[in-house]
Amino acid sequence: MGFYLNPGNKGFWQSIRSEIYVDKTELISCTNKYLNTREKFICISRPRRFGKSMTLEMLAAYYSRGCDSADLFKGLKIENNESFQEYLNKYDVIFLNMQQFLIESSSEKIIEYLEQEVLEELNEEYEEILRGRDIGLAAALRKIYVKTEKQFIFLIDEWDCVMRERQEAETLQKQYLDFLRNLLKDQPYVALAYVTGILPIKKYGQHSALNMFTEYSMTNQYVFEEYTGFTEEEVKVLCYRFHMDFEETSNWYDGYMFKKFKHIYNPRSVVTAMRCQDFSSYWTSTETYDALKAYIDMDFDGLRTDIVQMIGGGRVKVNTHSFQNDMCSFRVKDDILTLLIHLGYLGYDSERKEAFIPNKEIIGEFENAMSVGGWSEIIRILKASEKLLEDTLNGKEENVARGLDQAHMDAASILAYNDENSLSCSIGLAYYSARKDYRLIRELPTGRGFADIVFLPLPSVNKPALVVELKYNKTAETAIQQIKDRHYTQALEGYTGEILLVGISYDKENKDKPHSCIIEKQEV
């Protein structure tokens, strides 16, 4: 057993002994399927704290010849897979954590240091083959393969840290990518290469130096969707076990979605909430909000408008294809938004090509980032939202209309009113504080159309539900009548109690009092 070559199974052993362990071992069935195929190069990118390193430790425990892991996998899902015994502890594994090499060596010598460390262990294991040879890592692996026909599995953690932490060192980045290409591409000794990071493969010009990799990122995880975080069913099991409210857990930590799995939860935050028996911001507490602030403050046309729309509960269209997969080559606002998707600050709907703020934990991080300069008008709206909600619950229609007028004035420089969609974003922003106690649902399907905005109280909250209908250049009475005619309240399946029907209109010709509001009560 070595540190880089054929590491042991201690990391995986610690994971399965932990108080909370969610069985993701069926991921191994995917990697087994890709062994020694054209799909054997796998690049998985996810936000920090989304279990990437734990997955690599699991793969090392399974494949490495440096340990016997049969007992560790007993009772886990992969044990029943037909390929399980075939590859269990059968391969030479090379495990590299690039963050470690970046810390322990100077930037100029990172590749030299990496080769030196791995070659030292290879020389111990294959002394007869490599004795007296002063050659590089790729050449040494070729010699071993020619003599033994043994192949290697490469597991590389934080593969992109050179791009993230040496953003201006373009020469170093190219040297690093060339090193990886020479080490992995078209080499017969590679049975599988599984690399993880936050960013997808860096692009240079028209081609990528590592174009043999299939990328599985936060814009599309393909077959690895359910392993990106916790699924809805996995979270329900944890909530039952730890006596935590599932709806509240969803409100805080759900929001990442893919084509098949529409609800993926932040795993670190869910685990910490269960253990601490408290809902709070756990994922974002590991890093200051300065990084997020630096990106949302960038001077790209339309970026501030998009951020405000998402703070208000809306979605924005994003073209993710122009992003260069680094943290400095930004040309348009969509590049910033795409980076925020990869960092986990935004969710992404790949079918509709839309980005959104995924949950309560993340929206709090946006509020923190906006509270320090540059967003004063939006912060005023957010602070006033508590009073607006209180007036709404108390049926004070005139107060609500005046509050919306003020919110409109504050946001006018960023968010233009030109249709019901922009009005909807502004209303979502004005009712920002409602998210403490409510789940905001936009365009709730009702069978006879869509209710514009529904505020559904969380199970632990004793407050009425709100069904909000918006009208642009029509009357508030028209909005209320539409709620009744189309039976929007019937869509609140499972909810019993008081419902407030809230009709809001905006009259662009009435400069003094553009908003009007009507509030009616209903019982279900």
Instruction: Output the pLDDT for position 453.
Output: 87
Alpha-carbon distance of 136 to 341, in angstroms, equals 38
Alpha-carbon distance of 303 to 333, in angstroms, equals 6
Find out whether 337 and 319 touch, Cβ atoms under 8 Å.
no
Instruction: Output the pLDDT for position 473.
Output: 84
Q: Is 157 helix (H, G, I), strand (E, B) or coil?
A: strand
- Which residue intervals of 197-346 are DSSP H helices? 232-242, 246-253, 267-276, 290-296, 303-311, 333-343
Burial of 184: CB neighbours in 10 Å, binned 0-12, 13-18, 19+: buried
Strand order in the sheet with 316-317: 316-317, 354-356, 347-349
Q: DSSP string spanning 322-391?
A: T--SSSS---SHHHHHHHHHHHTSSEEETTTTEEE--SHHHHHHHHHHHTTTT-HHHHHHHHHHHHHHHH
Q: Output the six-digit token pair for 456.
A: 């559904």
Cα-flanking dihedrals φ and ψ of residue 63, to 5°? -90, -30
Question: Is the Cα torsion angle 219, 220, 226, 232 positive or negative in sign?
Answer: positive
Instruction: Output the pLDDT for position 332.
Output: 93
Cα-flanking dihedrals φ and ψ of residue 470, to 5°? -115, 140
Burial of 164: CB neighbours in 10 Å, binned 0-12, 13-18, 19+: middle
Instruction: Output the pLDDT for position 416.
Output: 72
> What are the CA-CA distances from residue 191 to residues 90, 98, 149, 184, 481 (Å)?
11, 20, 11, 10, 65
Instruction: Output the pLDDT for position 1.
Output: 74
Strand order in the sheet with 498-506: 438-445, 450-457, 465-472, 498-506, 515-523
Beta partners for residue 362, in sequence order: none
Residue 65 CA, distance from chain mean position: 34
Q: Is 264 helix (H, G, I), strand (E, B) or coil?
A: strand
Alpha-carbon distance of 339 to 219, in angstroms, equals 10
Cα-flanking dihedrals φ and ψ of residue 356, to 5°? -160, 160
Instruction: Record the pTM.
Output: 0.92
Cα-flanking dihedrals φ and ψ of residue 114, to 5°? -60, -50
> What are the CA-CA distances from residue 461 to residues 193, 269, 431, 500 (Å)?
49, 22, 17, 15
Alpha-carbon distance of 359 to 313, in angstroms, equals 10
Please state whether beta strands 515-523 and 498-506 pair in parallel, antiparallel, or not at all (unpaired): antiparallel
Flag residues of the chain having pLDDT under 50: 206-207
Which structural domains are found in the chain, ordered by start? Answer: 10-216 (3.40.50), 226-374 (no CATH), 394-523 (no CATH)
